[in-house]
């Protein structure tokens, strides 16, 4: 059998937080249902953050509750602190994702805390979830792990240190995020190897952006290093409001095309993703949509992995 690669669609969270307009809750739910119908089995549907900071996420509780009704879907919600994690669990999220910036500048801009202070916050979330929600998964993303638009170069040793501190705090699912899209394939390989040498199988995934046009190349480098979990966004939506210059995530459609063409199984139907683009466009008609597969069309040579 072909090897499975898991894709978590982050468009409804990472993508919409940078949208110029607010997508109606009904349209957002229809889009998420379309993604699930295409075979996407993990979707980060929103974040529990103050609506005054990111008004696009004000309806996350309602969206989580809707997404829970979709059969076979793992519903993920981002939470920057314990209060957010409690709200995510209360709404019914299957998994809570918590960001920890490696660079001090981004950590201050995004969370108003130092990286080490945010690691301590994660420790408190671990303790609370063990006591009150052991059935809910917890994952932590090491943001700006490959560079920062505020601080510039992020030392590899610092990425390893933060990842090790998170593992010591009890986190068993840790990802590396190229938040601003500055990484290159050689750097992906080097950082993945260094972090894995320190924390082993606790390193599970990559979250990549395409600012410099290297997103898919970086995904391939991660794949060759054994990563089997990737975040991506339909139509390449996304960015970070607290990271100047950051552009969209890698395109889900293009990532699925690459993986399936190489013989990896994603369980996702490309035609279904193209149909979901129409739902996205209907809900956000003014937003730019990206992707080579959608532009060129699915080639006649394409065969899904079995």
Q: Which residues are catalytic?
A: 240
Distance CA 271, CA 262 (A): 18
What does the chain come to in residues? Answer: 306
The CA radius of gyration of the chain, in Å to the nearest whole number, is 18
Q: Which residues pair with 76 in a beta bridge?
A: 44, 95
What is residue 31's three-state secondary structure? Answer: helix
DSSP, residue by residue, 63-130:
HHHHHTTSTTPEEEEE-SSHHHHHHHHHHT-SEEEEEEESSHHHHHHHHSS-HHHHHHHHHHHHHHHH
Distance CA 111, CA 82 (A): 13
Q: What tokens were used for 228?
A: 């089997």
CB crowding 172-189: b at 16 or more within 10 Å, else e: ebbbbbbbbbbbbbebbe
| Residue 39 host element (H or E) | none
| DSSP letter, residue 54 | -
DSSP, residue by residue, 281-305:
HHH-TTS----HHHHH---TT----
The residue assigned the tokens 């035609």 is: 271
């Amino acid at each position: 059998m072909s090897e499975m690669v898991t894709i978590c669609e982050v468009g409804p969270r990472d993508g919409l937080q940078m949208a110029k307009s607010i997508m109606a809750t009904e349209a957002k739910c229809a889009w998420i249902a379309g993604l699930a119908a295409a075979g996407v089995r993990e979707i980060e549907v929103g974040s529990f953050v103050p609506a005054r900071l990111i008004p696009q996420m004000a309806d996350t509780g309602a969206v989580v509750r809707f997404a829970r009704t979709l059969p076979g879907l793992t519903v993920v919600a981002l939470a920057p602190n314990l209060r957010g994690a409690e709200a995510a669990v209360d709404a019914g999220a299957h998994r809570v994702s918590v960001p920890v910036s490696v660079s001090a500048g981004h950590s201050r801009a995004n969370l108003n805390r130092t990286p080490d202070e945010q690691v301590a916050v994660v420790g408190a979330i671990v303790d609370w979830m063990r006591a009150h929600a052991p059935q809910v998964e917890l994952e932590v993303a090491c943001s700006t792990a490959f560079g920062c638009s505020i601080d510039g170069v992020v030392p590899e040793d610092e990425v390893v240190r933060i990842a090790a501190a998170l593992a010591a705090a009890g986190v068993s699912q840790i990802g590396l995020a190229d938040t601003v899209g500055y990484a290159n394939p050689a750097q992906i390989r080097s950082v993945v190897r260094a972090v894995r040498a320190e924390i082993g199988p606790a390193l599970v995934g990559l979250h990549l952006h395409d600012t410099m046009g290297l997103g898919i190349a970086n995904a391939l480098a991660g794949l060759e290093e054994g990563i089997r979990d990737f975040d991506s966004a339909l139509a390449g939506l996304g960015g970070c409001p607290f990271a100047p210059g950051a552009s969209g995530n890698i395109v889900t459609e293009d990532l699925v095309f690459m993986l399936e063409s190489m013989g990896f199984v994603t369980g996702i139907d490309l035609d279904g993703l193209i149909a979901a683009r129409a739902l996205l466009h209907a809900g956000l008609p003014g937003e730019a949509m990206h992707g080579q597969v959608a532009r060129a069309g699915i080639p006649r040579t394409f065969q899904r992995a079995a």
